[in-house]
Structure 1
Amino acid sequence: MKLVFMHGWSFDRRFWDPLLAVLGPCDALCLDRGYTGAARLEALPDEDFIAIGHSAGVLWFLNRDLPHCRVMVAFNGFARFSEGEDFAPGIPRRVLTRMQTRLHEAPASVVTPFRQQFTPFLPCPATLDSEALDQGLAELIDADGRQNARNRGETLLAVQGSHDSLVSNALHEASFATNRRLTLEGGHLLPQTAPQACADLIHDALRGWA
């Protein structure tokens, strides 16, 4: 079965390289939002696939019609990110709008401190697309995939890092109350820091649909 990957905010398709290296031969499609250069947002498959998202990449999947997606594996993800009247664990909107304001002046001054929250620190490249980054932040402010997450039930596996500095336990639980949830040792970059454990979970999903 095809595997479709989507990275989180400010990263690109290369984020998945450590995981793909241990995953072994597979039919993989790594989408790219274009935050660090030319986008590769190819059409989603018209055949059965497993969606694998990281952080904001999970929300991206949850806000799209995915008739051929049979399983979703969400690493360090969320079904909503911004705070709301019925979503107290979310991040205050003022934090995200402040980031938007600074993006067009100096995108690296926004992306670098964002990435410095995580271990390992993955420096941002010289090329950053402020328009694409702004669009990604707008989705983090406005998008709400909680209903789609609920609809997926047990076909969505949400994997949380035990020491995630961005996605709190409360945010994780509020996003995926009706889904399967699992905690791995590590922070916000599980596919980078625990690639074998992440690969094992993907292999389990593949075997489940073999």
Structure 2
Amino acid sequence: MKKLVFVHGWGFAAEFWHGLATELPEFASEFVNLGFLGDVHPINDPNAVYITHSMGLAWVVEQVANCQAIVAINGFTKFCRDENWSNGVPPRMLERMIRQFDRTPETVWTEFMKNCGAIDPVYPTKANTEALSKGLRCLRDCDIRLKFKNLTADKLIIAGDQDRIVPEKLTRASFGEDVIWYKGGNHLLPLFEQKKLAVDIRRFLDR
């Protein structure tokens, strides 16, 4: 039986994946928790398939030595723009989020979730503000372009064409044209497109 390891993005926890995992009952499932909400729980398994969301892809590329395959949903290889990466998000946007988060974390988290596509998000009582602040800095600084390119693992890239966090131009800059696009999809495909994702992931793994 193939094992799936699910890795969430900034601001979420392992529970983010429970709905999608339920749609893939024929696979064993484990869940990384990056510590934004709840305790840290890393998993490094070279025999697993890693299912990632957003900056979860960067965590896998940086922290997991090897794996069977990677599914990147709403992902990217470098988030912020620089002189050699014109399609990234302006770094001043992240700098502003970091400054504001240090003062009013609830406001920044809530606004981010709304931009992701969440409906009426409520700042979690178990939020770890220190870990969330560090995560924003990792988001600002991460650059896995070369490491991702050199990965030998099979890859499946899925994105939403209405993603306000990772715009289409950033997705294409990160991954080229080998992307499955979800028409009308936002940054929360694992929450809103679970059945469709299960079909695409199953088809990918069957190959």
- Relative to structure 1, is the Cα distance of residues 154 and 70 closer, same or farther in structure 2, using a 3 angstrom cutoff? closer
Report the Cα distance in structure 2 between the residues aligned to 1:131 and 1:39, rounded to whole angstroms: 13
Answer yes or no: is 1:113 the counterpart of 2:111: yes
For the residue of structure 2 that corresponds to 1:63, the secondary structure is helix
Name the counterpart of 2:28.
27
Report the Cα distance in structure 2 between the residues aligned to 1:144 and 1:191, rounded to whole angstroms: 23
Report the Cα distance in structure 1 between the residues aligned to 2:15 and 2:193, rounded to whole angstroms: 16
Report the Cα distance in structure 1 between the residues aligned to 2:102 and 2:37, rounded to whole angstroms: 14
Structure 2: state its 5+ residue gaps. none
Name the counterpart of 1:150.
149
Deviates more, 1:122-131 or 1:80-89: 122-131
Report the Cα distance in structure 2 between the residues aligned to 1:85 and 1:129, rounded to whole angstroms: 33
Tell me if the contact between 2:81 and 2:87 (Cα under 8 Å) persists in the aligned partners.
Answer: yes
Name the counterpart of 2:16.
15
Report the Cα distance in structure 1 between the residues aligned to 2:110 and 2:140, rounded to whole angstroms: 20
**TM-score normalised by the chain length of structure 2:** 0.91
Tell me if the contact between 1:191 and 1:198 (Cα under 8 Å) persists in the aligned partners.
Answer: yes
Q: Which amino acid aligns with 1:31?
A: V
**TM-score normalised by the chain length of structure 1:** 0.89
Tell me if the contact between 1:100 and 1:134 (Cα under 8 Å) persists in the aligned partners.
Answer: yes
Tell me if the contact between 2:159 and 2:171 (Cα under 8 Å) persists in the aligned partners.
Answer: yes
Name the counterpart of 2:96.
98
Name the counterpart of 1:171.
170
For the residue of structure 2 that corresponds to 1:157, the secondary structure is strand
Structure 1: state its 5+ residue gaps. none
Q: Percent identity?
A: 31
Report the Cα distance in structure 2 between the residues aligned to 1:89 and 1:191, rounded to whole angstroms: 24
Residue 205 of structure 1: how far off its partner (Å): 3.0
Question: Once the two structures are superposed, what CA deviation does each residue of 1:47-67 show, in whole Å capped at 9, x if it has no partner?
Answer: 411111101111222223432
Report the Cα distance in structure 2 between the residues aligned to 1:37 and 1:65, rounded to whole angstroms: 21
Q: Number of paired residues?
A: 204
Residue 153 of structure 1: how far off its partner (Å): 7.1
Please tell me the root mean square deviation across aligned C-alpha atoms, in Å.
1.8
